[in-house]
Chains A and B, each alone.
Chain A
Amino acid sequence: MSQVPANLRYTKEHEWIRLEADGTATIGITDHAQAALGDVTFVDLPKVGKSFAAGEVFGTVESVKAASDLYSPVSAEIVEANTGLNDTPDLVNREPYGGAWMIRVKLKNPAEAAQLLDAAAYSATL
């Protein structure tokens, strides 16, 4: 069974988002997503300063088997991308909720986050 931490919000496309105390949010992909992808070989992330609407593609995660789009859970501006994943893309398989976070963003419409799935609702989709 894949892990679904209770303190995060989720999309049905298998991204997670964590709202931070400073008003930013951190985004990555779920344990279920990394397991389904298999060995991750490349993560293509956007540059700091770029903006995305909720549901828009912000990057790509690629495994031996396939390349998959990453969807922004919320409307947001990138304040940091996890460039460490360039050298260790396999961290996505090992620490999907930890060291393999993908982007940190500034929310454009904080109300959107409340509409995302909670852990119980996301677990029900798996």
Chain B
Amino acid sequence: MSETLARTPLYDLHAELGGRLVPFAGWEMPVQYTGIIEEHMAVRKTAGLFDVSHMGEARIRGRDAAAFLDRIMTNELSTLKPGAARYTLMCQPDGGCVDDLIVYRFSETEFLICLNASNAQKDLAWMRSLVGTAKVEVLDECAAWAQLAIQGPLAEQILALTTTLPLASIRRFGFLVGEVAGASGCVVSRTGYTGSAGFEIYLPAASATLVARALLAAGKPLGLIPAGLGARDSLRLEAGYPLYGHEISERISPIQAGLGWTVKFTKAQFVGREALRRQAEGGPPSSVVMFSLDDRRIARQGAIVFAGDTAVGEVLSGTLSPVLNKPIGTALVAAGFTGSSELTVDIRGTRLPLHISVEPFVK
């Protein structure tokens, strides 16, 4: 079986920068440039630049757009103000997740939604199937946009060297539209997936290489380096952010994933409401926990979690935390065991104690 991998507008730049390209969600993406740990620490201490152009975008437009989004998403989007964004889940009637998304509001009747790369076409079809008689258009803009994420304590200082937009006025989950490095029509939002400060920039695909080069040149003296998907994964795990297909999926609901704060039962109706409410009130059969290990071995996806000799869960994600310098991860654990201090995880035949953490490892 052969698969044609899509390439982002920055493909040539990745090769030039020495990025190691691997298949990811149907795309040929850089997993690392200089090394996952070095790139991870750059984001924690200075700044890193990520190409996240594989992410998809949908524009939702029309008189009923806000009401439509309230009906198909768990969070409340009709109360979002123009110039602000909000994180939300989109669920199936049984409460499983179709995707997790960030919704940006441009005006009373116009929104842009960021979709996971692996789910983009599924999401578009799902949303279109739910339009019914609503006065709303669901437009596929995946190919129109590139996305860059500049993340780290120096991200704002570096981005300010390439734009006259008043970055300090952008609050967390706020955004402005304007020019970056001479490219107009960029959406600059104070959002990210790393647990460090920073911005995500949606930009016209044709401007991507120009803007990326300008940011790298401006940031180099301050310690900005290109960072790949490997560091993006270890950063998001330290920060406790879910990844679709791991902590949330069609079989793991937002209630199980600890994302109940995104589910607004105050809305009279939305897809998945009844199933999610039953879980929230009765308690879900299993929940996602974060853990660390006092070892060098990493507990990876699929490793089995035990209470005594009984299997009570499985690992969903695992990596080495460069900040803690020990393995961390997430696991789906059966109800009744999520607070246990007696759990172990099987790594290639060795049982290691698993320490559950209620707080993210990096705040």
Contacts and interface: CB of A to CB of B under 8 A. Distances in A.
A65 B36 CA distance: 9
Contacts of A38: 31-32, 35-36, 230
Contacts of B298: 41-42, 62, 64, 67
A73 interface: no
Interface residues of A, number: 14
Contacts, number: 38
Contacts of A64: 36-37, 230, 234, 298, 319-320
A42 B36 contact: no
A47 to B, nearest CB: 14
A89 interface: yes
Interface in A48-82: 60, 62, 64-67
A118 interface: no
Contacts of A89: 296
B35 A44 contact: no
A65 B320 CA distance: 9
A35 to B, nearest CB: 9
Band of interface residues on B = 10 to 19
A39 interface: yes
B41 to A, nearest CB: 11
A42 B296 contact: yes
B300 A67 contact: yes
A64 B319 CA distance: 6
B264 interface: no
A41 B32 contact: no
Contact of A62 (B32, B36, B230, B297): B297
Interface of A: 38-39, 41-42, 44, 60, 62, 64-67, 86, 89, 93
Given A38-B32, A39-B37, A44-B297, 15 more contacts: A39-B36, A41-B296, A41-B298, A42-B296, A42-B298, A62-B297, A62-B298, A64-B298, A64-B319, A65-B36, A67-B297, A67-B298, A86-B296, A89-B296, A93-B35
Interface of B: 31-32, 35-37, 230, 234, 296-298, 300, 319-320, 348
Q: Which 3 A-B pairs have the closest CB atoms?
A: A42-B296, A64-B36, A39-B37
28 contacts: A38-B31, A38-B32, A38-B35, A38-B36, A39-B35, A39-B36, A39-B320, A41-B296, A41-B298, A41-B320, A42-B296, A42-B297, A42-B298, A44-B297, A60-B348, A62-B296, A62-B298, A64-B37, A64-B230, A64-B298, A65-B31, A65-B36, A65-B230, A66-B300, A67-B297, A67-B348, A86-B296, A89-B296
